Amino acid sequence: MSPMHMPWYARSVFTAGRPLVLVAALVMSVPGEIRMAELAGWHGWITWLMPVSISAYAACAAVISDVRRRAKAPGRVTATIGAGLALGLALAAQVVAHLIDRGYMATSAVLVAVVSAVPPLVVAHMLHMAATPPASVTAEQRIAELEESLLLMALQLGEALDLEGRVLLSKIHGVKNSLDELTQAAEELAQENEDLAEEIAEELAVAKVTERAPRQKARAKKAVPLAVVKEAVAAMKAEGAKVSGPALADRLGCSVRSGYRYLGEVQAA
């Protein structure tokens, strides 16, 4: 459960309980560690520095180990080992101090040597952790991550440009094909228009010739000599046929109107 979703009393314990427990545990560890310093031969105010050398050192080593583990920085293994050893020393100091106070065991040369070696070991390990440059290593890692990110972005950009280029090329081919089809259709339409214009011109020429021929024929029919008309009228009278405009037109092969006109010309002569 996230701290943001905890009830208020749980959040209060989560927030304030951890430092309270840490302080209480450190305070309870102080007497035993002071007792161990006295058994090792230290006296006075110096014995109060033993809790700092053990408990505070264990806390510092644990925090440094966690920070370097998260940052993937060098020195996290030795910090973890140091935190474990410091925790073991703090635990052993409490147990041994209480066992000696209760008479279950007595001090010895080995115990004095081990407790006396605690401060220099703590100093050596703290200097080792301080000498490790986590910031520069972290910067190098960030530079490496940045290079990887830039490379990935360059690859993605190249792929995107290649895809866009292919799409654009496909569109260009589509436009070119459409343009070719339109050009071909325009050429076919222009050819059809030319053929249609030629057909219309031919039909108009034929119509003009056809219209001109009847007019010429009609003009030829109109030009019948008066003597021929008189002979036709005389022949009709000799045959005993009725002389009329239609009959005369039928004999001469002209229109009825022309027959009346010819008959009128004969009677007027």
Tell me what the mean pLDDT of segment 235-243 comes to. Answer: 78
Q: Minimum mean pLDDT among 5-19, 28-42, 92-106, 198-212: which range?
A: 198-212
CB 252 within 8 A of CB 232: yes
Token pair for 63:
């925090």
83 pLDDT tier (thresholds 50, 70, 90): confident
Provide the CA 254 distance to its chain's centre, in angstroms. Answer: 92
Place of tokens 């029919």: 221
**d(C-alpha 205, C-alpha 197), whole Å:** 12
Locate 159 and state its tokens.
């792929």
What pLDDT score was predicted for residue 123?
76
Confidence of residue 159 (pLDDT cuts 50, 70, 90): confident
Note whether 40 and 97 are within 8 A (CB). no
